[in-house]
Structure 1
């Protein structure tokens, strides 16, 4: 703070008096100097204030002028509500197959809405709209146009042709709102994987696209994330393989007179799903409504590959044998009791068509001939607690972690208690129900050398880390036994020239809702892997209520129904997967001498 100069400094006063001068002049002179300093300071302060005020006015008018210029240069549009609310995000990421081919994308279209108060002739508008959209009713439209409302939606999606026809009506009360809709360019192909989508939050200027089923719903947050909207979501499926599997399965389902079918092809090393098909299917561009009554499995929306929880029959037998091999209880050549029927308390365990493969069978032949009794004795060697723990570790007690909302609600049906009779029946796939996806995952564990895999519909860069479930030796022995099923067992129709297939058939009577089982309705499954010498893929084919009528008597076992369909799938898809056929050279019976003339 600046010290103030005194008005009557003592030294000057004394000097003035000594000189005979008037000391009051000194006070008046100092007072004048002080006032001049105050006036100078006030003037500088006023100049600064005027400078800042001028700058503020200049900036304000510049901003207002620039804004007015932008508004004048932009296209006119209807005012939007200033009420607070969440912004509608219309952008949604594309979905592609593993090779970048588009499975789901976005298409710009328009919605049609009306402002009835601006209509010139509501009756004419109603009549002409019905001519364009036959599903609308003229009287209903006219009533809504004249009941006093100020706004109503008429159509959420318009084709360019329909939009042009509405334009030609020429009524100012008909308006269009831009829309970004979801488009599935391949129609029904991969419908149960993609699921479908619909509009969520809607406004005049945009609409939110949300997933309603399948992968679209499971990964809805990822697909709607603005940070990843420009990055397509790459799936593990191969569109070409998916098309081939769908075609073969559809033909096979019709030839075998089945009411439904499912097929899953999985890479055994990575767990990637190369193809997933469920029939009947639907077009996700025009997704049908769910059934309100009856059996949900009768709806085309029902995904049999993950929602269908079935008793999978004899395909389970390899699990009992593999566990016994791992525990060192048997080897492939061990002889086990196969004398049928097997009596256990009040229960009688029989073979198919009351056959008797006994008194003894090797473990390999138990699998090849699909012996219920032989498998039951092996399971009893393992014991119920260890069997239950092994099946649980293979994933048969929980929903599969595949990226489909339908899979998370499809939990296997497992007995609450596990007495010896459950140990017996579960060993050959009865009394425990699971989906084809569960089966594919478990078979992939055997096929890849004993490492557990997690199934996925998303493309992976390489094999993930897994837990060892079986030793490599036991896994190889199990694959060899499954190969024997094709070579001299119940799956002889799975012989495909150039491609060695290993697998196991399963024929399970279909449960009756009234209790017990149907005598003439079955679920047939063929669980396979190929090529058998070094498995790369697992293929599961399931048919619902098939019957082969090509013979004099109807045949309902998997060997006559699911197996030939699976064989055709392998024959069609193996070249697409880059697998070269193995050519077997004819055996040399003798030595042929060849002479060459010089």
Structure 2
């Protein structure tokens, strides 16, 4: 910094020459220098004050913003989440049946929580809350309210009436949070298909609804994806057919004293499952807890017998053996087979039901009379390798691909060694355990002319036929045999006036958990297709441990148990499916037609 001299020589000499006082110049320069120094000091001070002011402004603004956020926010119960920091997705699409009727939707409700530090009368609030919610633990709640906790969940879901009752308590520490919950307006209808939903990530102002079972879990990503624009998930189920099926099956299960029952109704060309029932069932609005460890899951209402239950389905498998033998050109429906005994495979005898001996039977009559020996001898002609190839083509070796998450657990049980004995026993439905859904897909291939069709729970726009598994001729002969079973064989109770029914009964002894079979416990199944002359649908009805007294005797076989239930069901649902009865008018007597 260069300073101006206080007594510049040039100005001093000039001042002396003009007779002026040189000291005035010095005082003037000194005053000017002091003014400049003061201005510089003031500028530095103002700069420092400005910086300090900006600092305090930013600090107080941040504090004010934080205080405002705290004042307007709600207390949140910490929850574990794999998606840390992500927001709670509240949107979930509806689920509808094939005609657009609601099966699952969302419902606005509230949660109830407490902030104990804000409570005025914790003891009084506890007493009132226990009156409103009798399932609450009074002592635990009092401990939470009077302890050190700052947040306490009381109820994740409450009804409008309960909300009003809590509001009337008037304690400022009792607060409500808005949320959506999943609502199934039809209650237990199609419960095992719906599965149910629960809460994932939760806060007091929102809760994430996630699928926990059934199609809710299978299609969880789709139902929660905002990119779908809220478009509903459309299933293949028909609400009215499902309701009728459940009503008939429940009545049949009680009438036949069965511990459980299941039914599957499937379109033979599209693979659409129009109805699927598993009993006992549950209400997905109040889904029960899974059974504890060591508990037989098959007795739980959560167990889906249609896709998870794998059973030896007995003589319903005989038609597959006959159809394959025809398809291979080994026999036709009129070929005579000697079913006389004895028949042994190694050291194991092959007998008939009630020790019958049918003698020589046509292939069709083997199916009508349900001959084990006759089916076994056909299977020996087919051979183990070709039998396995055929059953694999029918999907009998893998879980069904139907879009219900529990279906992946329905793994068929095959013999470890598939020799001659297994070939014979599997030909009549023993030694290979599959689900009723597997059986429906197998019968659909016979019904539609020999093409495999994959079962699906989603609405389809047209036929979804897969690979050919048998010729049209073999399928046609098999259908004729199944029709004869109803008109002349073990399924006579399955005939429905106006609707030709074809099908096959199957009664299999239940295996014991540790090997062997029960003597008085069976799985009774009727696999049907209708109308038999041009099948549109396959129906499988299975009863677990049925027993009924008829004609003074205890009956357990499918012809006495599953068949009449299936017949009643077909009579109820066929009109709902749009099938017109084919009624042959009775001949009018007493009237003679004459010409003019």
* TM-score, normalization by structure 2: 0.85
Distance across 2 between alignment mates of 1:133 and 1:468:
60
Give CA-to-partner distance per residue, 1:279-335, whole Å, 9 cap, x none. Answer: 111110011111114321111111111111100000000111111111100011101
Question: Does 98-107 or 550-559 show the bigger shift?
Answer: 550-559
Preserved contact between residue 92 and residue 229 of structure 1 (Cα < 8 Å): no
Match of 1:311 in 2: 312
**Does 2:86 match 1:91?**
no
| Structure 1 residues 400-411: aligned runs within 5 Å | 400-411=400-411
Give CA-to-partner distance per residue, 1:242-291, whole Å, 9 cap, x none. Answer: 00000000000111010000000000000000000001111100111111
Match of 2:521 in 1: 521
- Relative distance call for 1:465 and 1:526 in structure 2 (3 A) is closer
Deviation at 1:79? 6.2
Deviation at 1:138? 2.1
| Structure 1 residues 379-390: aligned runs within 5 Å | 379-390=379-390
Aligned partner of residue 551 in structure 2, secondary structure? coil
Match of 1:56 in 2: none
| Structure 1 residues 428-507: aligned runs within 5 Å | 428-507=428-507
Match of 1:113 in 2: 113
Preserved contact between residue 445 and residue 452 of structure 2 (Cα < 8 Å): yes
| Structure 1 residues 15-94: aligned runs within 5 Å | 77-78=72-73, 85-94=85-94
Deviation at 1:402? 0.8
Deviation at 1:103? 0.5
Preserved contact between residue 490 and residue 559 of structure 2 (Cα < 8 Å): yes
Match of 1:326 in 2: 327
Preserved contact between residue 75 and residue 151 of structure 2 (Cα < 8 Å): no
Distance across 2 between alignment mates of 1:134 and 1:456:
43
Match of 2:246 in 1: 246
Deviation at 1:591? 10
Question: Does 346-355 or 331-340 show the bigger shift?
Answer: 331-340
Match of 1:57 in 2: none
Distance across 2 between alignment mates of 1:434 and 1:99:
31
Preserved contact between residue 413 and residue 432 of structure 1 (Cα < 8 Å): yes
Aligned partner of residue 290 in structure 1, secondary structure? coil
- Relative distance call for 1:588 and 1:337 in structure 2 (3 A) is farther
Distance across 2 between alignment mates of 1:84 and 1:396:
43
Distance across 2 between alignment mates of 1:299 and 1:79:
40
- Relative distance call for 1:464 and 1:355 in structure 2 (3 A) is same
Supply the RMSD in Å over aligned alpha carbons.
2.1
Match of 2:157 in 1: 157
Distance across 2 between alignment mates of 1:588 and 1:415:
59
Distance across 1 between alignment mates of 2:593 and 2:132:
84
Preserved contact between residue 341 and residue 356 of structure 1 (Cα < 8 Å): no
Distance across 2 between alignment mates of 1:484 and 1:446:
15
Q: Which runs of 5+ in 1 are unaligned?
A: 1-63
Distance across 2 between alignment mates of 1:441 and 1:465:
11
Aligned partner of residue 578 in structure 2, secondary structure? coil
Match of 1:541 in 2: 541
Distance across 2 between alignment mates of 1:590 and 1:439:
50
Deviation at 1:552? 0.6
Match of 2:138 in 1: 138
Give CA-to-partner distance per residue, 1:201-233, whole Å, 9 cap, x none. Answer: 001210000111111111111111111251011
Preserved contact between residue 327 and residue 474 of structure 2 (Cα < 8 Å): yes
Preserved contact between residue 341 and residue 351 of structure 1 (Cα < 8 Å): no
Deviation at 1:139? 1.9
**Does 2:282 match 1:287?**
no
Give CA-to-partner distance per residue, 1:149-178, whole Å, 9 cap, x none. Answer: 111111000100110111111111111111
Preserved contact between residue 341 and residue 373 of structure 1 (Cα < 8 Å): no
Preserved contact between residue 104 and residue 185 of structure 2 (Cα < 8 Å): yes
Match of 1:366 in 2: 366
Preserved contact between residue 258 and residue 544 of structure 2 (Cα < 8 Å): yes
Aligned partner of residue 581 in structure 1, secondary structure? coil
